[in-house]
Structure 1
């Protein structure tokens, strides 16, 4: 299998069927897909697992921004989900 280019496609769509249509249609060209707040809040673990079943990586773009301990816990929880990357705002916590 050829190595795919380091490209991330944002799944900023209104439903999981359309998101998965993009994942399936781009499967030979893209290895990482971004799941943002809307898709995750609407479909939760279901969308994460359905993308993972397709052997694709997930950038979970939930924009974690809170006190350091809370962000750390959220990142660890995301890692437990098996996601490839998360977004973190580093302006919170210490001055």
Structure 2
């Protein structure tokens, strides 16, 4: 799918970072038709939220299963195979070559799209060095993106700071999904590499993942719609 084919409304992915399926369903009801795409990550998945993938898909919504798989090849392939049956649109794996290769094999014959997580947006160069890496964030992100493209991965999860450079590397053959999005005036929380929605889209992002600024807002629907309006404006 090229960038022009993605509807502005579909570009916002609301992260259901909530403690229970009941809380998530209440948020979904509150957002109503204003949101078409949701992310289910660790917190909700481990609280019994995986069945929501099928429920949302049945309602015509899209779901990003943010499971960040990373294990031996067979385990990753079988896990991806299972998620492919759930109705999810995206699933994440860590951008290690063996893991990405196994994920691509596991989704064969399905419509599931694989996203590779390059470097978490809560990491900076110091964090990588503390973890034993000799290179910085930008260099590692670019190397992993190149590997992902060769292996047939569908998209990259990266911070908005890396979008511009990655777009030059992968062109429009891969989708760029960016967490670390904070509307102007929002708290940064534990994110270190962030950007506003409009700037991220202008830089070349395809999808924006926004959690706490929406789900913790006094009026989540109004915030979601404001972000979508900013996206549409950035697209011109």
Question: Structure 2 length normalisation: TM-score?
Answer: 0.35
Alignment of 1:79 with 2:84, yes or no, is: yes
Whether the aligned pair in 1 keeps the contact of 2:20 and 2:49 (CA below 8 Å) is no
Alignment of 1:39 with 2:44, yes or no, is: yes
**In the alignment, which residue of structure 1 is the partner of 2:16?**
11
Alignment of 1:64 with 2:69, yes or no, is: yes
1:85 deviates by 0.6
1:31-89 per-residue CA deviation (whole Å, 9 max, x = no partner) reads 11111112112214433333334321111111101122321221111001111110111
Moved over 4 A (4+): none
**In the alignment, which residue of structure 1 is the partner of 2:29?**
24
Whether the aligned pair in 2 keeps the contact of 1:5 and 1:29 (CA below 8 Å) is no
Counterpart CA distance in 1 for 2:8 and 2:97 is: 37
Counterpart CA distance in 2 for 1:53 and 1:32 is: 13
**In the alignment, which residue of structure 2 is the partner of 1:54?**
59
Counterpart CA distance in 2 for 1:59 and 1:84 is: 6
Name the one with the larger helix percent: 2
Whether the aligned pair in 1 keeps the contact of 2:44 and 2:50 (CA below 8 Å) is no
Ranges in structure 1 where 5+ consecutive residues have no aligned partner: none
Distance 1:81 1:72, change over 3 A: same
**Greater relative contact order: 1 or 2 (C-alpha under 8 angstroms, separation 6 or more)?**
1
- Aligned residues between the structures: 93
Whether the aligned pair in 1 keeps the contact of 2:17 and 2:44 (CA below 8 Å) is yes
Larger Rg: 2
Name the one with the larger strand percent: 1
Bigger Cα displacement from structure 2, 32-41 vs 3-12: 3-12
